Amino acid sequence: MFTGIIQAVGTISAMQPTGGDMRLRVETGKLDMSDVALGDSIATNGVCLTVVEFSNHHYVADLSSETLKRSGFAHYQLGQKVNLEKAMLASTRFGGHIVSGHVDGVGEVLSVTQSARAWEVWVKAPDELAKYIAEKGSITVDGVSLTVNGVDGAKFRLTLVPHTMQETNIGTYQAGTKVNLEVDVVARYLERLILGDKAAQSSAGKEISLAFLAEHGYLR
C-alpha cells in the first residue's frame, strides 16, 4: 500500500525482455534504500513492483505481461525518469490517499500551462475510467496522489504547485506524454458493492446502467 507522496525520482538503466515479460533495473537517486529488503514493494511510476535484487543505489524488479499491458512500461526507454515511493509503514504519515499500485490504464497529457506559480495539466483518461473520476476527488498519476480540479467527459484537470513539479517527473510532461492512472480505490469497491448478489454472475461488473440503478432503488 502507498500514499502517492513521491520520495524520489529514479532513472531506468536497464530493460531486459524475458520471454514475454521484462526485468527492469532502476537507479534510485536520493531514495533511502537502507531499510529495503528482498521482496519489498516500491511503486515505480505508480506501479507496485517487487524488489528481486538491490544495492544502495538501485533495484531490480520483474514486470509481468499484465503490467506491460496495463501500464506505460511497454513504451518506456532507457533513461526514463520514474517516480518512486516505498511501501508505507503503519507509522507513516498519511499525506496523500489510498494507493494500491495497481494501474487501471494509461492516459495522455493534453496540455500543460502555467497559472501564476502553479501549472494546469489536462489529461485524457481511457473512456472506461471516466466514471471513476470526480471533481475534487483523488487520482494517482504516475504514482503521484493528486486532486481532480475539473472534469470534462474523460478529460480531467490537475493543478500542480512548484514543489510537485520539482520533486516528481511531472516537470517533464508535455502534450502527448503517456501517464499511468490509478483511480480512487473507494470508487472501484462502491461499483462492485452496488451490484449486490449479481456480482457473482459472470456477466456482472462490466457496466452499471441507469436502468440497473433505478431497478435497485438508487434512482427515483
pLDDT in tens, 123-159: 999 999 999 999 999 999 999 999 999 999 999 999 9
d(CA 85, CA 6): 5
8-86 placed in CATH 2.40.30.20: yes
Whether 106 contacts 71, CB under 8 Å:
yes
- Ranking 24-38, 56-70, 85-99, 118-132 by mean pLDDT, the lowest is 85-99
| pLDDT for the residue 178 | 96
| pLDDT for the residue 48 | 97
Residue with cell 538503466: 13
For the stretch 171-203, what's the b/e string if a residue is b when 16 or more beta carbons lie within 10 angstroms of its beta carbon? Answer: eebeeebebbbbbbbebeeebeeeeeeeeeeee
Q: Which of 4, 184, 182 is nearest to 105 (CA)?
A: 182
Q: Residue 121: what residue type?
A: V
Whether 133 contacts 151, CB under 8 Å:
yes
- Grid cell of 47 as nine digits: 506501479
Residue with cell 528482498: 38
Containing 82, the helix (H) or strand (E) segment is strand 81-86
Cα 3 to chain centroid distance, Å, stands at 11
Per-residue confidence at 186, pLDDT binned at 50, 70, 90?
confident
Tell me the pLDDT of the chain averaged across its residues: 91
Per-residue confidence at 196, pLDDT binned at 50, 70, 90?
confident
Is residue 214 predicted with pLDDT exceeding 70?
no
- Tell me what the mean pLDDT of segment 162-185 comes to: 95
* DSSP annotation of 196: G
By percentage, how much of the chain surpasses pLDDT 70? Answer: 92
- Tell me what the mean pLDDT of segment 189-215 comes to: 74
- Tell me what the mean pLDDT of segment 9-24 comes to: 94
Each residue's pLDDT tens digit, 82-120: 999 999 877 777 777 889 999 999 999 999 999 999 999
Reported pTM: 0.86
Residues of CATH 2.40.30.20 domain(s) within the chain?
A: 8-86, 105-186
CATH, domain 105-186, list 2.40.240.10, 3.40.50.300, 3.40.470.10, 2.40.30.20: 2.40.30.20
| pLDDT for the residue 124 | 98
